[in-house]
Chains A and B, each alone.
Chain A
Amino acid sequence: MTTGAAPASFVSDAALKRLQKRKAADRRLKYYGLGAIGIALLLLATLVTSLIITGHTAFLQTHVTYPVYLDPAKIDAQDPDKGNYRSIVRDSFAALFPDVTGVREKRALSDILTSAAPYILRDKVVADPELIGETIDFTVPVSDPFDQFMKGNIKRETAEDDRRVTNQEIAWVDRLMADGRLSKPFNTGLLTNADSRFPEMAGLAGAITGSFFALLVCFLISFPTGIAAAVYLEEFAPKNKFTDLIEVNINNLAAVPSVVFGLLGLAVFLGTFGLPRSAPLVGGMTLALMTLPTIIITTRASLKAVPPSIREAALGIGASKHQVMMHHVVPLAMPGILTGTIIGLAQALGETAPLLLIGMNAFITSPPGGILDPSTALPTQIFIWADSPERGFVSRTSAAILVLLGFLIAMNAIAIYLRRKFERRW
């Protein structure tokens, strides 16, 4: 019969076998991919869940509300800044518990209130001196152990010696609760307060402002510099050994560990230039060093992606090189450039090591007023809190991480949105 190669058959055994094998291989590949994605999602979910479990309580804060008589004898109406607020706060609170008489007990009783209560009251009176002489409803956070008790992190069932609140204190809290004096509203202080020694008062305002200023400086430095460098390298630089060297170095720079940039910032910006320590200016400058390579690389990629036909079209009607770039290529590449910049900034936002080195992990109790004021940043604030033993800081650390993640997700979402919105097809 036929001795030459027969035409391939769709139904021969060999063909069917091969088909099956091929299909099995396809399926396997698909499952490997699904498996990998599944593992990645699982890890992510674990991370976020554990953060939420430990952190969610920090988004609420137990407050106590009680009447306070602003005794004119204890406050100087002319200068409300000075006044014995400590005793006002304590005495009014003690008035709720007339049966508590011992000095020791009285002190323990006032420890239910945050230690910052006198300052909160002072600020209130300074803001509105009319209040002097009146009795007001005063709402303050309770101190950390009681906050934790209210949130169930300290259990009633635990032996008295093993928990940070005594039976007596629990009885007081129960009484406050029965009187309806305790509330657990959303913890606005977490976002509006600066750092504090007392967990119930500590917030992220300083860190958020510090991060904002640092990113602003970082953006203002790295964005124009990055674009200019990328445009030069992509469009004007002669192709020679020297520019090759620059290119290799920029790519390497992107891979340098961030701690090295921190050391550089410490040595050059603080050491040589004598810029202030812990300032967002220095933080931003250091972060700009790290963001710059990212921006240069993504900008070059976006410039490359602009089709040459656009350049030719512009050149063909007599546009100069500069006009071709500024009127056509750069605007067309802008969505890509912006995406890269936002991703670079998001990286910078989460960067910790360089900021630690230039001292942005100091304990600072007021938000910075400008780029020269000492300040913390979100990641360094997390670092500081993670280092604090109080129970309240543990949940606040997780909450701060969630806030940071929220910012990161928002920035990346903006980047994706920009990319989608301006995506072009030529």
Chain B
Amino acid sequence: MKTAQAESQTATNGATMTPVEKASPQAAETHPVKMTARKVNVFYGAKQALFDVDLEIRDNAVTALIGPSGCGKSTFLRCLNRMNDVIDNCRVSGEIRLGDTNIYGAHIDPVLLRARVGMVFQKPNPFPKSIYENIAYGPRIHGMAERRAQMDEIVETSLRKAALWDEVKDRLQEPGTGLSGGQQQRLCIARAIAVNPEVILMDEPCSALDPIATARVEELIDELRENYTIVIVTHSMQQAARVSQRTAFFHLGNLVEEDETDQIFTNPRDKRTQDYITGRFG
């Protein structure tokens, strides 16, 4: 099988050379690698959820993770900011680097890591506090603002970047839970942005939203790409095609193939990828 070969090749070729890079050298040039996963295996108790996943995530690009339900997309995403640490029976092996640092290294503080690798969840989950507090909480616990004016500024810029400012600027003291679903999700994105992360992980951020709210969030993701590295899990092929530059297809805990989004959707190399994107399973 092609992918199996490709993967074994990766292993022998070493860290920097992957078949993907060979296939699309331009992408490698325009977008330097931000995060690298090497031989990542994840176990929930005795059950293995990910098998030897090797993946590179590129800077200032949107990487979409697609695949049938239960294939390990969320699991992989949660490895990238060590959110799996809080699950009792979850064990992760392998190496994931952010820049040059192995985030599973002994001296790495997961709390600090999560400030650099932010996360947006499937269901909008604002804190049951004011809109202002929702944004200000992260910067406050990380000591990013010394005076009130600084905090106000962070709140405003975060909300602006999340394209929410105009809608909420007059009601910053009202509870965040009182916003509409789409607004709540943008609030959550703003909250993630507020701590100034390098990478933003999004796990099906639009699955609870209507098409209009989805379009807004997608637009937003495209804008955010300028300044951030974004990894998004999605079940919508159209969404992956619309917002992502690169796409990774997972199946039964394996990374089947990873390439430029166009390439994956027009000319997948693996039969399983083709079956999935044409809707034959999953």
Contacts and interface: CB of A to CB of B under 8 A. Distances in A.
Interface of A: 239, 307, 309-320, 323, 327-328, 332, 424, 426
Contacts of B192: 316-317
A316 B118 contact: yes
Contacts of A332: 128
Given A307-B125, A319-B111, 14 more contacts: A309-B123, A312-B83, A312-B119, A312-B121, A312-B125, A313-B188, A315-B86, A317-B115, A317-B137, A317-B141, A317-B191, A317-B192, A318-B142, A327-B141
B106 interface: no
B141 A319 contact: yes
A310 B191 CA distance: 13
A319 B137 CA distance: 9
Contacts of B112: 318
Of A310, A314, A317, A332, chain B has the most CB atoms within 10 Å of the CB of A317
A426 B126 CA distance: 10
A310 B125 CA distance: 6
- From A315, A316, A320, residue with most partner B Cβ within 10 Å: A316
B111 A313 contact: no
Main secondary structure of the interface of A (DSSP, over half): helix
Given A239-B88, A313-B121, A318 B128 contact: no
Contacts of A311: 86
Nearest to B126: A313
Given A239-B88, A318-B114, A320-B111, A313 B141 contact: no
B83 A317 contact: no
Contacts of B115: 317-318
A315 B86 CA distance: 9
A315 B118 contact: no
Contacts of B137: 314, 317, 319, 327
Contacts of B125: 307, 309-310, 312-313
A145 to B, nearest CB: 64
B127 A310 contact: yes
B195 interface: yes
Nearest to B177: A426
A316 B119 contact: yes
A318 B138 contact: yes
* Cβ-closest 4 pairs across A and B: A318-B115, A309-B125, A316-B119, A317-B138
A372 B142 CA distance: 47
A75 to B, nearest CB: 69
A176 B129 CA distance: 69
24 contacts: A309-B121, A309-B125, A310-B125, A310-B128, A311-B86, A312-B119, A312-B125, A313-B191, A315-B83, A315-B86, A316-B81, A316-B119, A316-B192, A317-B118, A317-B138, A317-B191, A318-B138, A318-B195, A319-B138, A320-B111, A320-B141, A323-B141, A328-B127, A332-B128
A332 B123 CA distance: 19
Nearest to B194: A317
Nearest to B122: A309
A320 B123 CA distance: 22
Nearest to A317: B138
Contacts of B119: 312, 316-317
Given A239-B88, A309-B123, A327-B137, A316 B128 contact: no
B66 to A, nearest CB: 22
A231 B83 CA distance: 20
Contacts of B191: 313, 317
A426 B177 CA distance: 8
A426 B120 CA distance: 17
Nearest to B86: A315
Contacts of A315: 83, 86, 114
B114 A316 contact: yes
Nearest to A328: B127
B137 to A, nearest CB: 7
Contacts of B81: 316
**Centre residue among B123, B126, B128, B142 by max chain A CB count within 10 A:** B128
Contacts of A323: 141
A313 B191 CA distance: 9
B216 to A, nearest CB: 21
Given A239-B88, A327-B137, A314 B111 contact: no
Contacts of B142: 318
A149 to B, nearest CB: 64
Nearest to A424: B128
A335 to B, nearest CB: 12
Which of B112, B137, B191 neighbours the largest number of chain A CB atoms within 10 Å of its CB?
A: B137
Interface in B118-176: 118-121, 123, 125-128, 137-138, 141-142
